[in-house]
Chains A and B, each alone.
Chain A
Amino acid sequence: MSQFRIPGKGRVDHAKTVRFAFDNREYTGLRGDTVASALLAHGVHLMGRSFKYHRPRGPVTADSAEPNALIGTSRGPGRFEPNTRATVQELREGLICESQNRLGALSFDFGAVNDALYPLFPAGFYYKTFMWPRSFWDKLYEPVIRRAAGLGRAPSEVDPDTYASRYLHADLLVVGAGPSGLMAALEAARAGVRVTLVDENAEMGGALLSDPGVEIDGRPAWDWLDATLAELASLGVRLMTRTTAIGYYHQNMIGLCQKLTDHLDEIADNAPRERMWRVRATRVVLAQGALEKPLVFHGNDRPGVMLAGAAQTYLHRYGVKVGTRAVIVTSHDSAYHAAFDLAAAGTRIVAIVETRAAPPETLRAEARVRGIELLAGHTVTGTRGRLRVASVTVNPVQGGRVGEPRMIHCDCLLMSGGWTPSLHLFSHTKGSLQWDAESNTFLPGRMTENCHIAGAGRGLWGFEAALTDGAKAGADAARALGNEAKAAPLSVAHDRPGTGESHRELPTDRRSSRVRAFIDFQNDVTAKDIRLAVREGMRSIEHVKRYTTNGMATDQGKMSNINGLMIAADAVGKAPPEVGLTTFRPPYTPTTFGAFAGYHRGATFEVTRRTPIDPWAEANGAVFEPVSLWRRAWYFPKGGEDMEAAVARECRATRASVGIFDASTLGKIEVAGPDAVEFMNRMYTNPWTKLAPGRCRYGVLLGEDGYIRDDGVIGRLSDELFHVTTTTGGAPRVLNMMEDYLQTEWPDLDVWLTSTTEQWATVALNGPNARKVLEGLVEGVDLSAEAMPHMSVAECRVAGFPARLFRLSFTGELGFEINVPARHGLALWEALMEAGRPHDITPYGTETMHVLRAEKGFIIVGQDTDGTVAPEDAGLGWAIGKKKPDFVGKRSLARPDLVAPGRKQLVGLLTEDGGVKLEEGAQIVLDPDQPLPMKMVGHVTSSYHSATLGRSIAMALIEGGHDMEGRDVYLPMPDGTHRARITSTAFYDPDGSRLKL
């Protein structure tokens, strides 16, 4: 046991030691310790280096606001994280820690050369330098800056941990389980409210944990705490520790991040590391307490200088004395209590340096009783000690004049500049803050959400005030929820209320250029930097913040914002609220990415849609491609084929005999009702009135802007029923668009729309032998060309399943699309494969489908069109019902630019050398010899090697292309320019004779 650990004291378990390592040195701590408390128990204050000057630093807090003591923590492969607060990380067996941002050893950091050169690095120096010579920025300056910046090292392995997420609905959420939060939860729960109480710490109690001497209702604080927690549990309050309210979102939605395993010695299999809760609370009580402010003086950043409240916490919670000879410097009463408690525990309090001339007489008397020297009306003008504070220089201040210095030896310096309410979550709500000139602090103003703020969070001080206010907030919340509630009175003994005064920089006798008084410890922002920023014209706190980086460190200004603001306001010569307070932004404390991602990771990052036939494709070696949310079989390689060989084989087999294709991903919408045909006439460009039941038509859908949005074959099953197909990716958009028009523009139409994409499995059979394969399986319909011509549809049974059978073709071959209820899709596929065996039926994937359709010049919306293509441009003018008075997009087709000459139009393109396959996206020019930038007239939209034609084919959008058939164009590529001739897009069987089988 070290000399700094007090046997039996604190809330740690003195019987259970825990081993851990810091910078490769083994240490022991106790169960219940944080890394910081355990190291402090060994007398170790030096835990890190600052960002810019690499100054040695130790913990300044005992909580999540810690700016200095940041370490890397790890527990085996993949489980390393940088920038962990040593003041928050609980000790666990075998925890490995490392210090950060050092060149060499933590105790001898070569980076500290920056500290010696500090006059060269004032705020914003980088905006004024590194500009000459210009070329040095990329090669030298920036790489050096980047390497110097950053704190810890990033993880380098994939995280094996999982993260969970949950929703929670609560009548009342109480954030913070200090005295106010506990009472708020208690009063509300007693009134019958469903309460959730959360706290970021490992245990509840807040300030009570650091002040066991207080008595509440006649009981010692910790006894009262135990009883209260027991009562809360018995009332069914959901109590969540290690749970940080990270953000306050619209309409009382609060994000909570709960840490589940970082404190455990062993992790159970599959145990999530953290859980993100999205809480929707009817009312919220914010009881986040207050943050102690550092004092601003030369050398206030040395290891061993810490907040008085933190020292008190280390003493009472962890049984750790932060030093043996302490000096206190304070402008607030609260630090006296820390001094008295430490003195009682055996730390020698060498002096209390009090900035106020006349501190309260009661405190003076108590100091006298304890034999502590009280230096009222004094200031601190400096500290010394290389890696740990060794002495402090104090001077009297009289009438604004700083008197003679006196040096006092010490091994820790405990400071308190008073307290500032923690209003972070309130600030997230865009609630307004009000400046309280008396306490020099912001208090909550106008509320925008259904919340209450209690206790120190609204500037109250002392346990009685906090408890009473919490009880009132709980009762108020309960009443707002319609419950009867009355806050019971409380009695508090040995309370420690207090007041103080606020300072900017403490008075000093040093030359101002020699003063280095830190405000943002981590980012090394000094008071001088703030004043320099103001001198340079930065008059708003936002500018000051951005120019100096004050408040932008990982504590997000918890330590630095108010001190920075006070000094900036002084420099500007305005009241602080006129200079503004930078907005606090979520999250309250840095929050693991994994917790935000939750289950959305790997295979479950986003749903993968699979067709009923997908298992067959997988079992038969398909290669898949992602298409919107679907995965689709791309091609089916056989015996080591590459994609090109497989696709060529699939194409040839389909044209020669029969191919089978899973088209289940096609979007399907049923348009039904007495006005279905009228609705179709208004939505699609085509005329539908004369389409007889049993027939199909290729439909084109425009946006109201006149550009092609979607297409597909649409079958009319009866007078009042259309089976609409859409593109795979377009199905939800098309349905949404249809619903929009139907519900809001034409509610008078008697039509129902139903998405049936997932109700039907769709199998396409294509090839001259398609009918032969199908014939034996079909009941109830005559498949002959006369009875069922191209572009017809019938309801029947196929392979014993009820089916909608289309005769249509996206390949130019005799083709059928068989729709059966999805649950029969796989069986249908297998039946067709079996029936097709005599014909060497060949399964093909999306790539072959693309090639076959391109050989016919059929477009793919989104590939051959790009959202700026109108029907005429794509050669689909024939699909426009010329006699229709109106349809969606019709008016836009008459806009000036849509009737102007020179629009890009879809054409075929044949390279001079049929062996050359153009790249999709390749750009087209008329004059290949022009200099850059070239005048481009179009681009290749689709390009394939056609096994059928024995050469490459392509489609392209070219300015005025429809009038340029037969002309040559050029495609300048990095490896040379290709020449190609503009042709019709129908490369294969232009008369469509193969469809007429």
Chain B
Amino acid sequence: MPRYSAFAVVKNALTGHTRWREQWPDAQPKKEYDVIIVGAGGHGLGAAYYLAKEHGITNVAVIDKGWLGGGNTGRNTTIIRSNYLYDESAKLYDHALDLWDGLSQELNYNVMFSRRGVMMLAHNVHDVQSFQRHVHSNRLNGVDNRWLSAEEAKAFCPPLNISPDARYPVMGAALQMRAGTARHDAVAWGYARAAAARGVDIIQNCPVIAIRRGPDGAVTGVDTAKGFIGAKKVAVSAAGHTSVVMESAGVRMPLESFPLQALVSEPVKPVFPCVVMSNTVHAYISQSDKGELVIGSGTDQYTSYSQRGGLPLIEHTVAAICEIFPIFNRMRMLRKWGGIVDVTPDRSAIIGKTPVKNLFVNCGWGTGGFKATPGAAHTLAHTVATGEPHPINAPFTLDRFRTGRLIDEAAAAAVAH
């Protein structure tokens, strides 16, 4: 893999940039692989990379029905944070954050991980209690997160409206300084390039029709649009499409797929420094390096694979942003798009083994999978390679829905009284 650097760019400028090589080959399937990963998003490509790098397993194919990175990896609002409440979640996301830290250098691909801080706004007493619980729990878990008064929040993010007369006044905020954003496409491309350099085949435009199992019940490979491809192990990392793929192996999942919409504004010069999230009014915002305001919304109410989404939700989201940042009222929306997110009953992911021998799954990331990309990929690779979960993903089993040992971050933020 020729190294990328400023020097390489200068050198190639002399030859009119005609000598750059392809970042990954568009592979055709071999007859058999040690491991097939279904889904060439950041998670799947990352898992292939770590399989090759950390476990020496290079006879690996990543198969996707479309182009790599074309699913939720390329459709999210790129927020990265780890200030989760439960130990299990905090450890998983913080593991990811550790990997994010050096990812550009590790992959030799600038994924533009920007530690600009993620600020979560509290709008009522219940939010304050809940976020302070997060802050205290994070502190003792060694996870960066601190509490800001409304005035401190505004000092950090000047356009914020902290008027006590607001419909949802800001009563304070939790700030994780180490958190931030990254360039989503670059994550998929960087992993793809680094994995391909280690011998991984990336097979695009090859829908998986079914997972095939042998007489002993164990996985034998996948039937695809390009024919049967044998595999000793299969890992499904197909986000919104996981239920459908797993069903073909006879595994029914505790998942539902919902449309999730996001939007960007026209680009403007830097106007606020960080990521701001408000769960109460359901709006998330950051400013991309290109200058666009990147805004995330909640999911639509019904399950869907249409990637369409409705207007009312977008209207609500934009209204919420203008509530928090009244100066953005005259900004303009440039484009809006939808993704398909797979949601588990406890809103936490599933990474691990399945009832089928040699079949593994990584799914259920809901609206927050991007931030976990390196962590999910790393622990999935470990699980596939060794046949047993890494201690970090061990709690995120499929079996927890039987035992009741849920990791319910959403419920922990439940509102009542």
What is the interface of chain A, defined by CB distance below 8 A to chain B? 51, 79-83, 119-120, 122, 125-132, 134, 137-138, 142, 145-147, 149-159, 161, 247, 249-250, 253, 255, 276, 278, 430, 511-513, 528, 532, 535-540, 542-543, 546-547, 549, 554, 556, 583, 585-587, 590-594, 596-598, 600-603, 605-606, 608, 625-628, 705-707, 710, 727-730, 860-863, 865-868, 892, 895-898, 919-923, 925, 932-934, 936, 939, 972-974
Whether the pair B311, A253 counts as a contact (CB closer than 8 A) is yes
In B315-352, the 8 Å CB interface with A consists of 315-316, 318-323, 326-337, 345
Apart from A862-B415, A868-B411: 14 A-B pairs, beta carbons within 8 A: A119-B14, A122-B13, A127-B110, A127-B186, A130-B110, A142-B114, A146-B270, A151-B268, A535-B20, A590-B333, A597-B315, A597-B319, A597-B329, A863-B416
Which residues of chain A come closer than 8 Å to B23, judged between CB atoms?
Answer: 536-538
Residue of A nearest to B91 (CB): A933
CA distance A863 to B315 in the complex (A): 31
Q: Which of B121-129, B223-231, B355-363, B365-373 contacts A (4 or more CB under 8 A)?
A: B121-129
Residue of A nearest to B337 (CB): A585
A154 in contact with B10 given A127-B109, A142-B112, A895-B402 (CB within 8 Å): no
A921 in contact with B134 given A536-B21, A537-B23, A594-B322 (CB within 8 Å): yes
B269 interface residue per 8 A CB criterion: yes
Whether the pair A606, B167 counts as a contact (CB closer than 8 A) is yes
For this complex, 11 residue pairs linking A to B, each with C-beta atoms less than 8 Å apart, are A127-B183, A129-B4, A129-B6, A150-B267, A151-B269, A539-B26, A542-B74, A543-B69, A594-B330, A861-B416, A936-B140
Which residues of chain B come closer than 8 Å to A137, judged between CB atoms?
Answer: 104, 110, 112-114
Which residues of chain B come closer than 8 Å to A134, judged between CB atoms?
Answer: 102, 104-105
Whether the pair A608, B167 counts as a contact (CB closer than 8 A) is yes
Which residues of chain B come closer than 8 Å to A934, judged between CB atoms?
Answer: 140-141
A127 in contact with B189 given A921-B134, A921-B136 (CB within 8 Å): yes
B386 interface residue per 8 A CB criterion: no
In B7-66, the 8 Å CB interface with A consists of 8-10, 12-18, 20-26, 66
Residue of A nearest to B90 (CB): A933
Residue of A nearest to B115 (CB): A138
Residue of B nearest to A543 (CB): B67
Q: DSSP class of A's interface residues: helix, strand, loop or mixed?
A: loop
Residue of B nearest to A727 (CB): B416
Whether the pair A919, B132 counts as a contact (CB closer than 8 A) is yes
CA distance A591 to B269 in the complex (A): 18
A868 in contact with B408 given A537-B22, A593-B331, A727-B416 (CB within 8 Å): yes
CA distance A973 to B135 in the complex (A): 11
Checking A119, A151, A537, A862 against B267 with a beta-carbon cut-off of 8 angstroms, the contacting residue is A151
Which residues of chain A come closer than 8 Å to B137, judged between CB atoms?
Answer: 921, 923, 936, 939
CA distance A74 to B135 in the complex (A): 43
Checking A146, A536, A974 against B291 with a beta-carbon cut-off of 8 angstroms, the contacting residue is A146
Whether the pair A862, B414 counts as a contact (CB closer than 8 A) is yes
Whether the pair A729, B141 counts as a contact (CB closer than 8 A) is no
The 7 closest A-B pairs by CB, nearest first: A867-B411, A862-B416, A150-B291, A513-B16, A921-B133, A537-B22, A128-B4
A542 in contact with B321 given A593-B330, A933-B140 (CB within 8 Å): no
CA distance A36 to B113 in the complex (A): 40
Q: How far is the CB of A845 from chain B (nearest CB, A)?
A: 12
Checking B331, B334, B413 against A154 with a beta-carbon cut-off of 8 angstroms, the contacting residue is B331
Q: How far is the CB of A623 from chain B (nearest CB, A)?
A: 10
Residue of B nearest to A602 (CB): B167
Residue of A nearest to B7 (CB): A129
Checking A120, A255, A707 against B10 with a beta-carbon cut-off of 8 angstroms, the contacting residue is A120
CA distance A625 to B316 in the complex (A): 23
Q: How far is the CB of A598 from chain B (nearest CB, A)?
A: 7
Whether the pair B336, A83 counts as a contact (CB closer than 8 A) is no
CA distance A138 to B178 in the complex (A): 11
Which residues of chain A come closer than 8 Å to B168, judged between CB atoms?
Answer: 605-606, 626
Whether the pair A249, B416 counts as a contact (CB closer than 8 A) is no
CA distance A161 to B74 in the complex (A): 35
Residue of B nearest to A585 (CB): B335
- In this complex, which of B183, B334, B412 has the most chain A Cβ atoms within 10 angstroms of its Cβ? B334
Q: How far is the CB of B291 from chain A (nearest CB, A)?
A: 3
Which residues of chain A come closer than 8 Å to B166, judged between CB atoms?
Answer: 602
B215 interface residue per 8 A CB criterion: no
Which residues of chain B come closer than 8 Å to A122, judged between CB atoms?
Answer: 9, 12-13, 17
Which residues of chain A come closer than 8 Å to B388, judged between CB atoms?
Answer: none
Whether the pair A513, B114 counts as a contact (CB closer than 8 A) is no
